[in-house]
Amino acid sequence: MAGKKGWRNAGLYVLLVVVLIALGTAFMGGRPAPANAPRSLRYSDFIEAVQANQISRVLISPDRGTALVVESDGRRAEVNLAPDKDLLKILTDNKVDIAVQPTRQTPAWQQAASSLLFPILLLGGLFFLLRRAQGGGGNQAMSFGKSKARVQMEPQTQVTFNDVAGIEGAKLELTEVVDFLKNPDRFTAVGAKIPKGVLLVGPPGTGKTLLAKAVAGEAGVPFFSISGSEFVEMFVGVGASRVRDLFEQAKKNAPCIVFIDEIDAVGRQRGAGLGGGNDEREQTLNQLLTEMDGFEGNTGIIIVAATNRPDVLDAALMRPGRFDRQVVVDRPDYSGRLQILGVHARGKTLSKDVDLDRVARRTPGFTGADLANLLNEAAIMAARRQLVEISMDEVNDAIERVMAGPEKKDRVMSERRKRLVAYHEAGHALVGALMPDYDSVQKISIIPRGNAGGLTFFTPSEERMESGLYSRSYLQNQMAVALGGRVAEEIVYGEDEVTTGASNDLQQVARVARQMVTRFGMSDKLGPVALGRSQGGMFLGRDIGAERDFSEDTAATIDAEVSELVAVAYKRATTVLSANRAVLDELADLLVEQETVDAEQLQELLLLRDVQVADYA
C-alpha cells in the first residue's frame, strides 16, 4: 500500500518538473505579455462601474461566460459574467456599447491569457492531486462539482480512535466495522454478514460525527457526509436525486463511510404529522431505503447515521439490512470527561496548577463538545491575558463561561444537588435490588438527561418479557421501587427537605395502584372486578378522565384502596432502606464519585455488605 503510494507520488513529482520546464519555455519563447493586459474585475464591481458610467464598451465571449470590458479611461478589464438576465437591460440603460464575440475567432487577449492560464491551471491541479495523495488535504472538505449538494467528501479524515475519548463502549462496537472496511475480503470469504448501517444515538455534542470520522480514519477509507436537514430544505424531487448521487459517488469510492447527520430530519415516520406529512421528505426517505436495499451485502459501503431522536424514526429504517445496529453515544461520566479533557489538552500548554481531575469533577452534564470548548476558551483567555501557559484561573473562568451558555446551567449540578440525586437514585436501585421477585438493576446514573436528574435502569426478566404478565407482588414491588427515591431523600435529608424530583415517580405509583384496583381486580375490598370502561388518559393533549360506570360509594372505596396500596409500598421502601442505611450511603458515595454504577458494581457492593432483603408485602 505504502509502496504503491510512494510510486504515485514520485510520478507526480516528475510531472511537476515537466510542467515547470514547459512553463519556463512558454515564458521565454512565447510573445511578451501585452502592456495593457486586462486586469480582472469582480462582477459586482463591474455592475457598479456600469451604473457609474465608467464603462464604455463590453465585448462578451461567445459562451457568454466572460466579457472584456473597456473602461471610459481606456483601461481594460476582464469579468466573469454571472448568469444574470438583467445584464443586457442594465448595459443598454447605461448606454454601454455591447458586442458579442463571434465563435471561433479567439481575440488576442484571450489567447494571451490562455497561454498563461493553462500551465497555471495544470500546476494548480497537480498541487491538488499531490496534497490529496499525501493526505495533506485531509481536513479540506471537497464538494461535488456535479450538483450544489452539500455532500462533503474527505479522502482521509485524519481522525483516529485516539481522538475520541470517554465513549469506550461505542468505540468498541465500531472496531468491528473498522476491521471489515480494512479487510472486506476476509469477511466475505467466510460468508460473514456485515452491517450496512449503524445508527449512533445520543445528545448533540457527544462526538457522534467525530466517531464516524474516526472509523473512516482508522480504516483509511474516504468519508462522505451530508446532513439530513439539508435534504429536506430542497425542492421536491431534489432530495431523492441527491440520495442517488450520494450513493453513486460512494459506490465509486468503496470501501468508504457514508455519514448522515440528523437522520431524523428525513427519517421521521412516514405519514406522520399534519396534512399527511411532507412529500419531499418521504420521497427522500424512500430513495434512501431503496438505495440501502439495493447494494448487495459486502460492497464495502457502511452507512453511519446520527440522531438524538431515535423515537421519531420510521420503523422501516431499523429493519434488518438497514440500520439494524444501534450504538448509544451518551454524555460522558466523570472518568470519561477526564479522558476527553486529556485529548483536548494535547497541544495546549497548561501550567502545573491545572488539575484536570478537578475540572472533570466540576463538569457533570458537559458533553465532549462542551469540554473541547472549555479548554479552547481557557486558551483564548490565556492568550488575551498575555500568558505563556494556561493557568487554573483561565480554566475556572472558562468553566463558568461554558456553564452560562443556554440551558446548561441547570444541566450542570451543584455538589449538593448531585449528592441529593445520588441518594434518590440509590434509593430506587437499592429497593429494586432488595425486593424479592423483581427486575434486576442494569445501571444507575446521575448524569442529567432531559427532565430527569438521574435514572435507574432495570432489565426485566425474560419470562416477564415473553408473557407480558405482571403478578400482584411484582406490581407491589414496582410501587415500592418507584417510591424508593423519595424515601431515600426523606431518610437522609428529613421530611422537610424532600424535593420535587420525585413527581414522576409519584405519578407512576398512583397509576399502578389505581390500575391494580380498578383493572386487575387486585383489591381485597373490591375483589376481582374491572371497574370503569376506560382508563381515561390523554386525548388531543387533554386529560379526558376515566369514564365511570360505578357509584360514588365505589369511587370512595377505590380511592381508599389506592391509598392503602401506596401506604403499604411506602412502608416497605422505608423499612428496607432504613435497614440498609449504610449500604445506601455507600452506593450514593459511589454515584457521586463515578456518576454511573453498573450491575456488577452494585452486585459486588451487595455481596460484600451485610444486606437485609425485604419481606413480601
Ligand X SMILES: Nc1ncnc2c1ncn2[C@@H]1O[C@H](COP(=O)(O)OP(=O)(O)OP(=O)(O)O)[C@@H](O)[C@H]1O
The correct pick among 178, 216, 343, 378 for binding ligand X (CB under 6 A) is 343
Provide the sign of the torsion angle of the four alpha carbons 587, 588, 592, 593, taken in this order.
Answer: negative
Distance, CA of 185 to CA of 232 (rounded, Å): 37
Distance, CA of 487 to CA of 480 (rounded, Å): 9
Provide the sign of the torsion angle of the four alpha carbons 431, 437, 438, 442, taken in this order.
Answer: positive
Evaluate whether 446 touches 330 at the Cβ level (below 8 Å).
Answer: no
The one of Zn ion, ligand X, none whose footprint includes residue 90, by CB under 5 to 8 A per kind, is none
Tell me whether residue 545 is annotated as binding: no
Pairing, β 301-307 against β 197-201: parallel
To which residue does cell 479522502 refer? 155
Q: How far is the CB of 580 from Zn ion (least distance, A)?
A: 18
Evaluate whether 50 touches 56 at the Cβ level (below 8 Å).
Answer: no
DSSP-derived secondary structure letter, 82:
P
Tell me whether residue 209 is annotated as binding: yes
Q: Residues 107-146: x/- map of binding to ligand X (CB under 6 A)?
A: ----------------------------------------
Sheet holding 142-143, edge to edge: 142-143, 152-154, 223-227, 256-261, 301-307, 197-201, 325-328
Note whether 368 binds ligand X by CB under 6 A.
yes
The one of ligand X, Zn ion, none whose footprint includes residue 369, by CB under 5 to 8 A per kind, is ligand X
Q: What is the CA radius of gyration of the chain?
A: 34
Neighbours of 300 (CB within 10 A): 21
The correct pick among 24, 169, 204, 237 for binding ligand X (CB under 6 A) is 204
Distance, CA of 391 to CA of 362 (rounded, Å): 16
- Dihedral pair phi/psi, residue 207, rounded to 5°: 105, 25
Note whether 372 binds ligand X by CB under 6 A.
yes
Tell me whether residue 428 is annotated as binding: yes
Find the part of the chain contacting ligand X (CB under 6 A) among 116-124, 133-141, 201-209, 309-317: 201-209
Q: How far is the CB of 370 from ligand X (least distance, A)?
A: 8
Q: Has 425 been annotated as catalytic?
A: yes
Buried b (16+ CB within 10 A) or exposed e, 486-524: bbbbbbbeeeeebeebbeebeebbbebbbebbbebebbe
Note whether 369 binds ligand X by CB under 6 A.
yes
Return the SS3 of 350.
Answer: strand
Q: Residues 283-322: x/- map of binding to ligand X (CB under 6 A)?
A: -----------------------x----------------
Cell numbers found for residue 350: 497548561
Taking the least distance from each CB to ligand X, the nearer of 167 and 444 is 167
The one of ligand X, Zn ion, none whose footprint includes residue 485, by CB under 5 to 8 A per kind, is Zn ion
Q: How far is the CB of 181 from ligand X (least distance, A)?
A: 19
Residues 545-604 that bind ligand X (CB under 6 A): none
Pairing, β 256-261 against β 223-227: parallel
Return the SS3 of 598.
Answer: strand
Q: How far is the CB of 483 from Zn ion (least distance, A)?
A: 9
Return the SS3 of 60.
Answer: strand
> Where do contacts with Zn ion occur on this chain (CB under 5 A)?
485, 505
Taking the least distance from each CB to ligand X, the nearer of 145 and 450 is 450
Evaluate whether 30 touches 22 at the Cβ level (below 8 Å).
Answer: no
Tell me whether residue 205 is annotated as binding: yes
Note whether 485 binds ligand X by CB under 6 A.
no
Taking the least distance from each CB to Zn ion, the nearer of 230 and 505 is 505
Tell me whether residue 169 is annotated as binding: no
Q: How far is the CB of 427 from Zn ion (least distance, A)?
A: 8
Taking the least distance from each CB to ligand X, the nearer of 195 and 205 is 205
Q: How far is the CB of 317 from ligand X (least distance, A)?
A: 17
Tell me whether residue 203 is annotated as binding: yes
Question: CA–CA distance from 124 to each of 139, 270, 401, 428 (Å)?
Answer: 18, 47, 44, 65
Provide the sign of the torsion angle of the four alpha carbons 219, 224, 229, 232, taken in this order.
Answer: negative
Residue of this chain nearest to Zn ion (CB atom): 485
Taking the least distance from each CB to ligand X, the nearer of 106 and 140 is 140
Which of the residues 425, 489, 561, 595 is marked catalytic? 425
Q: How far is the CB of 213 from ligand X (least distance, A)?
A: 8
Evaluate whether 480 touches 471 at the Cβ level (below 8 Å).
Answer: no
Q: Helices 415-434 & 552-579, crossing angle to 10 degrees?
A: 100
Evaluate whether 443 touches 597 at the Cβ level (below 8 Å).
Answer: yes
Note whether 405 binds ligand X by CB under 6 A.
no
Note whether 208 binds ligand X by CB under 6 A.
yes
Neighbours of 282 (CB within 10 A): 19
Tell me whether residue 424 is annotated as binding: yes
Tell me whether residue 202 is annotated as binding: yes
Tell me whether residue 208 is annotated as binding: yes
396, HSE (Cβ side, Cα atoms, 13 Å): 7
Per residue, the 3-state secondary structure of 396-460, as one string, reads HHHHHHHHCCCCHHHHCCCHHHHHHHHHHHHHHHHHHHHCCCCCEEEEEECCCECCECCEEEEEC
Note whether 261 binds ligand X by CB under 6 A.
yes
Taking the least distance from each CB to Zn ion, the nearer of 54 and 499 is 499
Q: How far is the CB of 502 from Zn ion (least distance, A)?
A: 5
Q: Residues 166-185: x/- map of binding to ligand X (CB under 6 A)?
A: xx------------------
Q: How far is the CB of 385 from ligand X (least distance, A)?
A: 24
Residue of this chain nearest to ligand X (CB atom): 368
The one of ligand X, Zn ion, none whose footprint includes residue 184, by CB under 5 to 8 A per kind, is none
Taking the least distance from each CB to ligand X, the nearer of 286 and 376 is 376
The correct pick among 177, 201, 243, 340 for binding ligand X (CB under 6 A) is 340
Note whether 209 binds ligand X by CB under 6 A.
yes
Provide the annotated active-site residues.
425
Binding residues for ATP: 202-209
Binding residues for Zn(2+): 424, 428, 505
Instruction: Enumerate binding residues for ligand X (CB under 6 A).
Output: 164-167, 204-210, 261, 306, 340, 343, 368-369, 372
Binding residues: 202-209, 424, 428, 505
